[in-house]
Structure 1
Amino acid sequence: MQVVAYLRVSTERQGESGLGIEAQRDYIAQAAKSKGWEVIAEFTDTASGTIAPTARSECIKAMNTAKELGAVLVVAKLDRLSRDVEHIAAMVKRVPFKVATMPDADAFQLHIYAALAQQEREFIAGRTRDALASLKARADAGDELAQAKIARRDAGRKKAHEVGNSAAVAAVVATADAYAQSVANHIKAARFDGIVTLAGCADYLNRHQVKTRRGFEFTPMTVKRLAERLGITFP
């Protein structure tokens, strides 16, 4: 079986240092050797796991490559694809994929595993909220140690927001541009076939099973926005 490897790290620093990437590559290599898979391509994203896989530039390329070559997408661990059960459910519908750390798991089992993992994260988040509420209550009651902890937390969150906001905007733009380029040839092919209307182009893309960046069918409006990003004009 031919597979397309998809790797993901959350920060530029991790991507530059290779931390996490080599471990993911090793997991995939071990599974490939064990199961007789042939890794024919590899794509790496530097993006938060909260971003949907279908909104990450390299993941889009990995999915398109897998579809074009009739291969299966493979990730080292399920959380490298996403930590959100809805994202996993959407991926199950979009492209066949395997997880190196549990190579025999089918789509149903992966969906269940994702649901259980998300439930555990929600439990942890709830305990964290309760602890913060208790800390705030002590700070409001005059506990100086609690007040200092709250102040440090607020300062850290403000700094992270300032740094992350500009990076997030740039990442969204880059992802949208990468997706647009991945669909550009389809739109050009439609034009070459004599299709000159937005509605006709939308129908062409849907007939060829090309999906929007969020995984939906095209409409004239989504074609218009995509064409404008690519600088392609319709009469």
Structure 2
Amino acid sequence: MKVVSYLRVSTSRYGDSGLGLDAQREYIARAAEQNGWEIVTEFVDKASGRVAIEKRPEGSKALDMCKQLGAHLVVAKLDRLSRSAHHITRLVEEIGIEFKVATMSHATTAELNLYAGLAEKERKFIRQLKKDAMPPLVRSVNIRDAAASFDPLMFGPTAENRKLAAVAVSNRVLTFHLEVRPHIQDCLNAGLTTLVQIADRLNSKGIKTSRGGIWSATQVKRVMDSLELKF
């Protein structure tokens, strides 16, 4: 399968979420090798994730190339494509471009759309939690700068704050499970038959748990139960 590699860094800082160009290239190259993709060319943008890809200088060129070659667009992580679930849905349904995500290379379009929607919802919850919990004095002085380092529960863990935080955590867990699902499915397809074997395989591939640690049989079971995956 031919793919067009697309990389994006933020205008506000180099590599949004710490994901720089070299790291993006490595993710895409590894996924291409594992899945037999042929990378035909690469495009790089310095643009905000809030701007639709077709409105970015290099993004529009990447889409045109995909159409010319009948190729898929591939990004390292979903937020390199867009931070808007609407933009991602439009890419397939209206613009007609199929895409792949290197860190979720076996995920279907439907799964990627679901992941994008959940990630967007989580960001909105967190922004609202910060806004509701922030003291009026802080809001009136400099809300943008204060929000960047503000702890929403610093001024009282109210019932509403707890509710918002619980929903955000729940969404984060579910999005992580969707992200790791293809890797666990690969283990099952490879004939692994125990939780320990799957944990060892995930660890050997450098895939981290949701907290950035190594996998154990118990953690694998918890995720498999959530996703209703069975041996």
**Normalising TM by the smaller chain, what interval?**
0.5 to 0.7
Q: Which residue of 2 aligns with 1:47?
A: 47
Structure with bigger gyration radius: 1
Q: Equivalent residues in 2 for 1:110-125 (5 A)?
A: 110-125=112-127
The answer for unaligned runs of 5 or more in structure 1 is: 140-145, 158-235
Relative distance call for 1:115 and 1:153 in structure 2 (3 A) is closer
Q: Aligned partners of 2:73 and 2:53: how far apart in 1?
A: 12
Cα offset for 1:71? 1.1
Secondary structure of the residue aligned to 2:40 is strand
Q: Aligned partners of 1:127 and 1:87: how far apart in 2?
A: 25
Relative distance call for 1:13 and 1:85 in structure 2 (3 A) is closer
Q: Aligned partners of 1:67 and 1:129: how far apart in 2?
A: 42
Q: Aligned partners of 2:4 and 2:121: how far apart in 1?
A: 29
Q: Equivalent residues in 2 for 1:152-231 (5 A)?
A: 153=143
Structure with greater contact order relative to length (CA < 8 Å, sep ≥ 6): 1
1:37 aligns with 2:11: no
Q: Aligned partners of 2:145 and 2:43: how far apart in 1?
A: 36
| Residue type of the alignment partner of 2:62 | A
1:151 to 122, 141, 144: 141
Q: Aligned partners of 1:127 and 1:156: how far apart in 2?
A: 13
Cα offset for 1:19? 6.4
Secondary structure of the residue aligned to 2:103 is coil
Q: Aligned partners of 1:109 and 1:19: how far apart in 2?
A: 22
Runs of 4+ in 1 over 3 A off after TM superposition: 149-157
Q: Which residue of 1 aligns with 2:153?
A: none
1:87 aligns with 2:77: no
Query: How high is the TM-score relative to the length of structure 1?
Result: 0.56
Q: Which residue of 1 aligns with 2:73?
A: 73
The answer for unaligned runs of 5 or more in structure 2 is: 148-231
- The more displaced of 53-62 and 5-14 is 5-14
Alignment size in residue pairs: 143
CA contact (8 A) 1:4 1:74 kept: yes
Q: Which residue of 1 aligns with 2:8?
A: 8
Cα offset for 1:83? 1.1
Cα offset for 1:150? 5.2
Relative distance call for 1:107 and 1:155 in structure 2 (3 A) is closer
Relative distance call for 1:126 and 1:152 in structure 2 (3 A) is closer
Q: More helix per residue: 1 or 2?
A: 1
Relative distance call for 1:103 and 1:155 in structure 2 (3 A) is closer
Aligned CA-pair RMSD: 2.3
Q: Which residue of 2 aligns with 1:127?
A: 129
Alignment deviations for residues 62-120 of structure 1 (CA, whole Å, 9 cap, x no partner) = 01001101211000000000111100100122201100000111111111111111111
Query: How high is the TM-score relative to the length of structure 2?
Result: 0.57
Q: Which residue of 2 aligns with 1:59?
A: 59
CA contact (8 A) 1:12 1:46 kept: no
Relative distance call for 1:29 and 1:107 in structure 2 (3 A) is same
Q: Aligned partners of 1:117 and 1:155: how far apart in 2?
A: 23
Percent identity (aligned):
50
Q: Which residue of 2 aligns with 1:101?
A: 103
